[in-house]
């Protein structure tokens, strides 16, 4: 592996979460540059910094998050999650100039997945993607804050900015959905409705703050949500990426309600334009519109206060057992596998 360039750091990985996006890259090799090192919820210790890095030094514990260019109009306006180079930087398998710091026997290997490729003992990453972690939080706990947890919590707190007493339905109770449910409780939502086909996930959702659980294999979620809320929810959040579920999420909104989507690559939707005309809204929720250096410390503070127990989502695995961890995640046996190096 190459050393860091002037604006980069070399991180010795301590822990990395496995996110659904890693698994979907494995499952869709036609849209994945190969060979590649995946992984994008890395946390570790800085070992080296490039000469232009002024805010990190060797020995610092860091959580790595998504990449953004820092130079496009969206980045300079403070919306790095909508960076013009988002797709190339995070999914391209290289730096913007096409190079990768990783090679094997002289042959280049795609790296820089989400500007980190954290399924490796070491990662070269841009300093701007790293968030210094407080030393009282273990890195195995902090790792998933960089993608899945901030996507769920950020949707509620940054995008919806759910007011006290509002209502929300969360479709899909994986790590993203459960993080949204915990954040909805933090926000003071009155009705927090979890929708999932797995009873054990609904049970966990209730323990983490859901006031209601709906299993769509047993009852119609849209009818039930309208019953519970007297007409529809203020906010609906889909993190399944399934067209039927997204359509249900949209249908469960009351007028002026906002539906957020965290997944849906290549999915075609059938929506009633008249409902949009009447004020319903549907938007994507990239990374929960989180600015990692601001939002990750906020989530850690909520955790310290006992109000955001995201440790309940995590199951630790040895890095060597990465395939077992992915299998367990796909089967729904674990919510958030975290690999330990
Ligand atoms: Zn940008
Ligand atoms: Zn992710």
Task: State the distance from the centre of ligand 2 to the C-alpha of 272, rounded, in angstroms.
Answer: 30
CB 50 within 8 A of CB 7: yes
By the CB criterion, residues less than 5 angstroms from ion ligand 2 are: 19, 21, 147
Q: Give the model confidence (pLDDT) of 127-185 as tens digits.
A: 999 999 999 999 999 999 999 999 999 999 999 999 999 999 999 999 999 999 999 99
Query: What radius of gyration, in Å, describes the C-alpha atoms of the chain?
Result: 20
The continuous run of DSSP H or E covering 186 comes out as helix 175-187
Task: State the distance from the centre of ligand 2 to the C-alpha of 273, rounded, in angstroms.
Answer: 31
pLDDT of 58 higher than 90: yes
The DSSP code for 113 is G
Predicted confidence at residue 31, as pLDDT, reads 86
Task: State the distance from the centre of ligand 2 to the C-alpha of 222, rounded, in angstroms.
Answer: 28
* 3-class SS of residue 211: coil
CA distance 192 to 162: 11
Predicted confidence at residue 180, as pLDDT, reads 98
Compute the mean pLDDT over every residue in the chain, rounded to the nearest whole number: 97
CB 63 within 8 A of CB 296: yes
How confident is the model over 199-206, as a mean pLDDT? Answer: 97
Name the closest ligand to CA 66.
2
* 3-class SS of residue 170: strand
Between helix 20-27 and helix 322-331 the angle, nearest 10°, is 100
pLDDT of 300 higher than 90: yes
Task: State the distance from the centre of ligand 1 to the C-alpha of 77, rounded, in angstroms.
Answer: 9
Domains and CATH numbers, the chain: 8-146+309-340 (3.90.180.10), 150-286 (3.40.50.720)
Query: Bridge-partner residues for 15, per DSSP?
Result: 43, 340
Provide, rounded to the nearest whole percent, the portion of the chain with pLDDT above 90: 97
Which tokens is 59 given? 């020995």
Model pTM score:
0.97
The continuous run of DSSP H or E covering 150 comes out as helix 148-154
């Amino acid at each position: 592996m190459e050393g860091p360039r002037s604006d980069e750091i070399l991180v010795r990985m301590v822990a990395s979460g496995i996110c659904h996006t890693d698994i979907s890259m494995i499952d869709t090799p036609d849209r994945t540059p190969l060979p590649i090192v995946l992984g994008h919820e890395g946390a570790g210790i800085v070992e080296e910094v490039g000469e232009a890095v002024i805010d990190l030094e060797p020995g610092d514990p860091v959580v790595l998050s998504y990449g953004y260019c820092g130079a496009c109009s969206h980045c300079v306006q403070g919306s790095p999650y909508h960076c013009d180079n988002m797709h190339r930087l995070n999914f391209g398998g290289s730096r913007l100039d096409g190079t990768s710091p990783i090679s094997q026997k002289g042959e280049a290997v795609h790296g820089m997945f989400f500007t980190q490729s954290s399924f490796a003992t070491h990662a070269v990453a841009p300093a701007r993607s790293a968030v210094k972690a407080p030393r009282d939080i273990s890195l195995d706990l902090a790792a998933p804050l960089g993608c899945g947890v901030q996507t769920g919590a950020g949707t509620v707190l940054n995008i919806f900015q759910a007011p006290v007493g509002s209502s929300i339905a969360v479709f899909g109770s994986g790590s993203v959905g459960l993080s949204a449910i915990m954040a909805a409780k933090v926000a003071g939502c009155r009705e927090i409705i979890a929708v999932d086909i797995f009873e054990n996930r609904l049970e966990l959702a209730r323990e983490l703050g859901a006031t209601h659980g709906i299993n769509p294999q047993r009852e119609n979620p849209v009818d039930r949500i309208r019953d519970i809320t007297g007409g529809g929810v203020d906010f609906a959040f889909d993190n399944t990426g399934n067209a039927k579920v997204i359509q249900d999420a949209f249908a469960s909104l009351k007028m002026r309600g906002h539906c957020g989507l965290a997944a849906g690559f290549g999915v075609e939707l059938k929506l009633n334009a008249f409902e949009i005309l009447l004020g319903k809204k549907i938007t994507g929720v990239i990374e929960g519109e989180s600015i990692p250096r601001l939002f990750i410390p906020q989530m850690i503070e909520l955790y310290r206060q006992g109000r955001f127990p995201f440790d309940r989502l995590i199951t630790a695995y040895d890095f060597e057992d990465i395939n077992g961890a992915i299998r367990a995640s796909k089967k729904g046996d674990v919510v958030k596998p975290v690999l330990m190096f």
